[in-house]
Amino acid sequence: MITDKDHRLRALAEDGRWPELLAAYRQGRAAAVVQAGEQAAVDLTAPLGHLIAYSAPPELAVRLFDADGGEGTVAGVADHDAGPLWEVLATRHSWLRLAPLLGPAPVRRLVAHTRVLLGEDLSYGAEPDPDGVPLRLEPWEAAGWDEASRVREYLPGGGARSAVLTLPASREGLGEVELPEPGGRLGGQRVTRALAELSALAPWVEVVCVRGQAQLAAAVLTRRRRVIGGYLPFALACPALVQAAAVGRTHGGAHGRLGLWRALGAMAGAEGPDRTEVNALVARMRCFTWQEPAAGLRHLHLALEDPASGVAWAVSGSQEF
Interval 131-153 mean pLDDT: 93
Interval 149-159 mean pLDDT: 92
β partners of residue 316: 206, 301
The tens digit of pLDDT for each residue in 45-93 reads 999 999 999 999 999 999 999 999 899 999 999 999 999 999 999 999 9
What pLDDT, on the 0 to 100 scale, is given for residue 2? 39
User: Any idea which of 125-129, 201-205, 212-216 has the lowest mean pLDDT?
Assistant: 201-205
How far apart are the two ends of the chain, measured CA to CA in Å?
A: 24
R_g of the chain computed on alpha carbons: 21
What pLDDT, on the 0 to 100 scale, is given for residue 1? 32
Average pLDDT, the chain: 90
Model confidence at 163: pLDDT above 60: yes
Share of the chain above pLDDT 70, in %: 95
Interval 174-200 mean pLDDT: 78
The tens digit of pLDDT for each residue in 233-271 reads 999 999 999 988 787 788 999 999 998 998 899 888 888
What pLDDT, on the 0 to 100 scale, is given for residue 101? 96
Model confidence at 126: pLDDT above 90: no
The tens digit of pLDDT for each residue in 285-317 reads 999 999 988 766 888 999 999 999 999 999 998
Domains of the chain: 4-161 (no CATH), 166-319 (3.40.1000)
What pLDDT, on the 0 to 100 scale, is given for residue 206? 87
d(CA 274, CA 168): 28
What pLDDT, on the 0 to 100 scale, is given for residue 199? 59
Which stretches of the chain are DSSP H helices? 4-14, 18-36, 38-55, 58-61, 85-92, 95-98, 105-117, 139-143, 190-198, 214-222, 234-244, 253-267, 275-284
What pLDDT, on the 0 to 100 scale, is given for residue 283? 97
What pLDDT, on the 0 to 100 scale, is given for residue 54? 97
